Amino acid sequence: MSNHPLALFGGNRAVVSEPGDLFAWPIVTEEDEAAVLDVLRKRAMSGTDITKQFEQDYRAWLGTTYTLGANNGTSALHAALFGVGVGAGDEVICPSITYWASCTSVYSLGATVVFADIDPVTLCIDPKDIERCISEKTKAIVVVHYFGYPADMDEIMAIARKHGIKVVEDVSHAHGGLYKGRALGAIGDVSGMSLMSGKALAIGEAGMLATNDREIYERALAFGHYERYNGVIHTESLQPYAGLPLGGYKHRMHQMSAAMGRVQLRHYDERNAEIGRAMNYFWDLLEGVPGLAAHRPRPDSGSAMGGWYAAHGHYKPEELGGLSVTRFTEAVRAEGVADCQPGCNMPLHKHPLFQEADVYGHGKPTRIANASRDVRTLDADLPVSVGIARRVYSIPWFKHFRKDQIEQYANAFRKAAENYEALLVDDPGDPPVLGGWSMFSRK
């Protein structure tokens, strides 16, 4: 197969069968439909009874003491950051390679962000770069389990404990993932995750916060859930203000999402396991192909990808005569893999919102409006983040373990890599900017 001429040059495409529902997600059955219709018929869209049941299911699944539903993942993370006490003048460390919602809400808390570099193998925050970013103003570290890969939590937690800093896990890419046998989202001080339709656990616009710390939970609740901020609050400092949301935000989850969430969660482990079988099979087929490497933890590590959201692969142009990832992915797409794109999220520190934007009229960039030092990041501090787009590409996100179809997709990647010399001839190289600010705007 791999020696056939590339489809880009008129050869036969590696992917010949129609995908069918190979990529369709989430899987929606009559069970989801009945649950959602029930909310509609009861006119219970804005209630909280079903959301509270969903929170209870989620706690049991994740193994944390507290969970709090939200209208989206951005709100859950915003509340998590408030929950750990991020406030005026504080600094929050976050990887530059992530979706903006991991950290952008810190501005509205009067805080700022200090960007850390990522590890070139895990693509998650590099523990070795965290201490460079710490100052006496550092309040929290946001850890993103990027593209489903469990970040190095042991090292991160050790650094955080040493410096008295809180850890916020952003699990929006990694539902059901494991770090050394422990559930992602139950390791840091608090976690927040998106449950929007494009994610692995997909229930519409919704988010979830999880923690074992009652005060963090209560602060998050007080921030954006006025009707649940009442007499049951134990935290004394919060008691006088019950009844109105401290943040001025309303984070209530739509109960059609909550109802669908209860159904989706019941099936999630099984469906996630099938995704894992399919994705691991894809990578097993490509083991040893020059230029390509899997983005997944070692099978003997006790760690496992969660959901494989927006799965990507490593690219090593030096093993393919310097072939650009732009040209490589063009050849893979021609083989019939529509969603093989170069790059990933663009480094957040390069966006003008994190350089000069004066959002709130401070008369200076919001990034440094309340900061005691200029935390704006230089490319030289983040070499991996700045260069990573040329070394990654998206791969198909299989939802079913169908060997012969997966083999066709893997062959497309193998063919492009093994015929790299033919592709070098007209390689335009990579453009100055690759990837996008979000995975959705890119498509």
Ligand X SMILES: *Cc1c(COP(=O)(O)O)cnc(C)c1O
Q: Among 54, 66, 82, 99, which residue interacts with ligand X (rule: CB under 6 A)?
A: 99
Q: What are phi and psi of 319, to 5 degrees?
A: -90, -5
Site string (378-407) toward ligand X, x via CB under 6 A: ------------------------------
**Residue 407 burial (CB count, 10 A):** 16
The residue (of 148 and 317) whose beta carbon lies closer to ligand X is 148
Residue ranges with strand state E in 103-253? 112-116, 138-144, 166-170, 178-179, 182-183, 190-194, 207-211
74 binds ligand X (CB under 6 A): yes
**72 touching ligand X, by CB under 6 A:** yes
* Interface mask toward ligand X for 158-187; x: CB under 6 A: ------------x-xx--------------
- Nearer CB in complex with ligand X: 81/320: 81
Residue type, 292: L
Nearer to ligand X, 14 or 187 (CB): 187
73, 291, 343, 347: which one binds ligand X (CB under 6 A)? 73
Which residue of the chain is nearest ligand X when measured via CB?
Answer: 73
Residue with tokens 């059901």: 176
- Nearest distance from C-beta of residue 99 to ligand X, angstroms: 4
The residue assigned the tokens 């369709």 is 24
Q: Closest CB to ligand X among 111 and 124?
A: 124
The radius of gyration computed from the CA coordinates of the chain, to the nearest angstrom, equals 22
257 binds ligand X (CB under 6 A): no
At position 304, the amino acid (one-letter code) is A
Distance CA 280, CA 275 (A): 8
Residues in contact with ligand X, counted by CB under 6 A, come to a total of: 15
DSSP string for 8-35: GGT---S--S--TTSS--S---HHHHHH
Pick the binder of ligand X from 94, 101, 375, 417 (CB under 6 A): 101
Instruction: Determine contact, residues 73/192, Cβ cutoff 8 Å.
Output: yes
Q: Which is nearer to ligand X, 102 or 408 (CB)?
A: 102
Residue of 102, 303, 377, 394 that binds ligand X (CB under 6 A): 102
For the record, the structure tokens of 337 come out as 């893999």
Question: Which residue of 64, 191, 194, 405 would you call a contact of ligand X, by CB under 6 A?
Answer: 194
* Phi (first) and psi of residue 125, to 5 degrees: -50, 135
Residues 104-163 that bind ligand X (CB under 6 A): 144
CA distance 86 to 89: 9
- Give the footprint of ligand X on this chain (CB under 6 A): 72-74, 77, 98-99, 101-102, 144, 170, 172-173, 194, 196, 207
